[in-house]
Amino acid sequence: MKWQQQLKVAGAKARAAWEYVWRPWRRFEQKWPRLSKWIAWPTRVVSVVFGLFILFWLGIALSVPSVRELREVQTQIASEIYSADGLLLGRYFNQYRTVVQYQDIPKHIIDALVATEDERYFKHKGIDYRSWARVFFRTILRRDDSGGGGSTISQQLAKNLFPRKQYWLLSLPINKISEIITARRLERAYNKEQLLALYLNTVPFSENIYGIDVASKRFFNKAPVELTIEEGATLIGSLKATSTYNPAKAPDRTKQRRNVVLAQMLKNNYLSRPICDSLQKLPLVVNYNPVINNQGVAPYFREFVRQEALQLLSEMRKPNGEPYDLYTDGLKIHTTLNSDIQRIAEEAVNEHMSQLQSTFDRHWRGQKPWGDDAVIDQAMRASKRYKQYVEQGLSEAEILAKFEEKIPMTIFSWTGDSEVEMSPLDSIRYHFALLQVGFMAMEPYTGYIRAWVGGIDYDHFQYDHVRAQRQTGSVYKPIIYAQALRSGIPPCEQLPNRLTVYHEYAKGDWAIKDPRREDPDPHISPEGKDEDDWVPQNADGKYGGSYSMQGALTNSINTISVSLIMRTGVQPVIELSRRLGITGEIPEEPSIALGTSEVSLYDMVGAFSVFASRGRKTRPITISRIETHDGKILARFDQGQPEQILTETQADVVTHMLQSVASYGTASRLKWKYGLYNYAIAGKTGTTQNQADGWFIGFTPNLVAGAWVGGDSPLVRFRTFEYGQGAATALPVWGIFMKKLLEDPAFAAWKEAKFPELPPEIDRELNCSMRIPSAEELLADSLAADSLLPIDLEFPIPDSTNTFF
């Protein structure tokens, strides 16, 4: 081949060049063989030494930053996330670190640091040659460790800022010399006070935290400026060995080390003898505050904001052209979350879900809520533990045996985390039987998300159920009714509640029925139904009579929802759903009228906000602005001009219908159970097949909120509709939340909020019977009452040419 020939030619040329270079030496060897041997060995040794020397200095040259680079050095600073009302929610970081200025560091901390780590700090220029002599004579010759090390604070800072690298056998000398040179250059780039501040902001403390500010808040729950002398000495003492002298985990050893630091302060005249003695007698008192990113307010929300911030920052650049780093640039992320509303949401979730789980456990006592164990086996094989065993090369039998072995573990419990001995397989079964929850609240006109609860406990369950796509059930029906209004169907038209067979539905033949026909709905008797047919049924199994739109939605009549989508057409409903903000897959089938499509709670709350905002589509917003560490605004994120999806009249009529649902229909327990009688509330419940999912999305003039409740798997559900319907599982979260919210003085003004009044002509148009019984029902009722009055079976039907809608 051509490349092989080229390789042979190149090899021949290389050999020829080598022979040409070494030809004079070959001649010398032939003429004076003994002398050439004497010359060859010293030459080789010198060459090797010279090569090592070049590598040595090349390693140093490449590893030592210039003075200019040192002046521009930036430490990794955690970015902070804030609520709309200014509460610090959490931080994003690679190294948990915040920066404090020199003037905010107490003098006694500086004294403790200098006395312990570098007594002659203010007398040398980065290198303390006296300490080298001390280390040599005391530590090396006399093997006495009490003399301390020879590294100055400047050298330690160099090591903190520029971690050591590997250079094979030359790593130690190259790194040491690099640190010495860097330390000298640091002294030229900064004054002594700046170096101390830089050191205290970068030095690692116990538990993988960095800087005096984070350490003081972790172990004493206060800012550095508030630390007492003995507390400051405790933190400085822990620098010698951060794991060994952890104030929270090793208080006795840490106290001894603290007293050594106090003794060093006495020795260097920073403390008097009486003060030192009194401080050394004090007990070690720690006010431990483990600020873990998974804990605290709104952890699911913070994780969603993290992902959104990364996306936004990818489009921004620093003045030098570099991209912003969420984990190291100390940015301030201001969000739309309201900490008070979030607190109330979390309280409502905890209050209801703890009770619901007890009911669920009693409901399934002695039985498996998931039925077939195949789902447990699938969960086991998807677990990290199983994959680790596979990577270790264990056989299937060995893996199964390990999953059956009892081991100590921490499991979630509504009474607090429990330390138990349980097999990994049993822990999967235990956690699989727990009901989960999603809750989200947003302002309809601004799109600001005010509360977000993605599950029952973030430490144990990181999956966010606000973003999970689940079947929606009847909570999807308001979209069908909105499209019916857009299609010109009068809201007071009486719609028959009857069983209808859609022949050959499974083959998709329904799609060929022309929705423009005067009566495209095929009212076919259920008799003669075959396996390809579809017969939508009502949850209560009751049929007969007719309903207005308001009556049908209030009572969640399935047969009428399907009848409406057959009249409007499936594709227009899908198109409206997309415009309302629903992003998941929507099958092009009439069954979506019953909520068979899978949609996230995030999308459904956004869709309902269109009804609450009088037809305007507002984009959900989580981040209001992003600032740099020093407060410069990088970007603001506003709503912009909302899109008018529905007319104000259409949206107001849907809202009017949903108010009826909350007052008289499937959500009426909001009134009689949660006392929300005199407030403007609209909403819709939803329950999916076999009670796998429970939904409620409701709104007031000020807030749209939604709740979903179910198992991680749809197989985990209540057996009966009574317990598993959305009105019993999801609605209580909303009811408790709204009751607590309106009782809070901060939101007292929301009690008086009202929905816009319908124009008189629209109000008159909606003044119709919600349900008209069938003739048979009227006759039966009349006979039961022994009535002698004549029965009028004729009812007026509204004019179908109505143009209001």
CATH of residue 745: 3.40.710.10
Token pair of 228 as six digits: 């007492």
The token pair that represents 645 in the structure block? 């999806």
Residue 78 pLDDT class (50, 70, 90 cuts) = confident
Asked if pLDDT for residue 216 goes beyond 50, the answer is: yes
pLDDT, tens only, 712-725: 999 999 999 999 99
Q: pLDDT tens for residues 735-781? A: 999 999 999 999 989 999 999 998 888 888 888 888 888 766 666 65
Q: Are residues 592 and 474 in the same domain?
A: yes
pLDDT for 367: 86
* pLDDT value at residue 182: 80
Residue 394 placed within a domain: no
Cβ neighbour number for residue 743 with a 10 Å cutoff: 12
In this structure, are 288 and 245 located in the same domain? yes
The one-letter amino acid code at 478 reads P
* Contact status, residue 539 vs residue 556, Cβ threshold 8 Å: yes
In this prediction, residue 291 carries a pLDDT of 61
* Residue 437 lies inside a defined structural domain of this protein: yes
Residue 792: pLDDT band by 50, 70, 90 thresholds? Answer: very low
CA distance 582 to 592: 13
User: Are 319 and 283 within one domain?
Assistant: no
Claim to verify: residue 551 and residue 616 sit in the same structural domain: yes
Measured N-to-C along each axis, helices 171-189 and 153-161 cross at an angle, to the nearest 10 degrees, of: 110
- Find the mean pLDDT for residues 146-151: 58
Average pLDDT over residues 522-527: 47
206 and 328 share one domain: no
Question: Residues 55, 158: one domain?
Answer: no
Region 103-131: mean pLDDT is: 89
C-alpha closest to that of 284 among 220, 368, 206, 336: 220
Percentage of residues in the chain having pLDDT higher than 90: 60
Q: Are 233 and 351 part of one and the same domain?
A: no
**CA 70/CA 538 separation, integer angstroms:** 74
Q: Is 213 inside a domain boundary?
A: yes
H or E element in which residue 450 lies: strand 449-453
pLDDT at 500: 87
For residue 247, what is the domain's CATH number? Answer: 1.10.3810.10
Query: Domains in the chain: how many in total?
Result: 3
Same domain, 52 and 110: no
CB burial string 703-725: b at 16+ within 10 A, e below: bbbbbbbbbbbbbbbbeeeebbb
C-alpha closest to that of 493 among 551, 532, 453, 454:
551
Outline where DSSP puts E strands in 228-312: none
Highest mean pLDDT among 114-128, 405-419, 692-706: 692-706
Write down the pLDDT at residue 50: 53
pLDDT at 441 over 90: yes
Q: Which amino acid is at 803?
A: T
Helix (H) or strand (E) holding 5: helix 2-31
Average pLDDT, the chain: 85
- Residue bearing the bigger pLDDT, 525 or 401: 401
For residue 47, what are the β-bridge partners? none
Which has the higher per-residue pLDDT, 328 or 625? 625
Does 164 lie in the same domain as 107?
yes
Per-residue pLDDT tens over the stretch 347-377: 999 999 999 999 999 999 878 888 888 889 9
How many Cβ atoms are within 10 Å of 602's Cβ, its own excluded? 26
Predicted confidence (pLDDT) per residue in 447-463, tens digit: 999 999 999 999 899 99
- CA distance linking residue 626 with residue 633, whole number of Å: 6
Q: Pairing relation of β-strands 435-442 and 704-711?
A: antiparallel
Per-residue pLDDT at 764:
85
Instruction: Specify the pTM.
Output: 0.78
Within-domain flag for 707: yes
pLDDT in the model for residue 267 = 94
Structure token digits, residue 609:
């906000």
Q: Choose the weakest-confidence range: 56-65, 106-115, 325-334, 682-691.
A: 56-65
Are 230 and 313 part of one and the same domain?
no
- Residue 647 falls within a domain, yes or no? yes
Measured CA to CA, the distance from residue 264 to residue 463 in angstroms comes to 51
**Residue 380 resides in a domain:** no
| Alpha carbon 515 to chain centroid, angstroms | 44
Separation of CA 731 from chain center = 24
CB 382 within 8 A of CB 402: no
pLDDT tier, 93 (very low <50, low <70, confident <90, very high otherwise): confident
Q: Residue 789 pLDDT more than 50? A: no
Q: Flag whether 175 is in a domain.
A: yes
Given 265, 293, 321, the domain boundary residue is 293
The rounded percent of the chain whose pLDDT value lies above 70 is 79
Do the domain assignments include residue 153?
yes
Q: Which domain holds residue 60?
A: 2-69
Looking at the fold, whether 153 and 28 belong to one and the same domain comes out as no
For residues 357 and 245, membership in a common domain is answered with no
Reported confidence tier of residue 689, pLDDT bands at 50, 70, 90: very high
The pLDDT assigned to 518 comes to 36
DSSP 3-state assignment of 771?
strand
In this prediction, residue 319 has a pLDDT band, given cuts at 50, 70 and 90, of confident
Supply the pLDDT for residue 782: 56
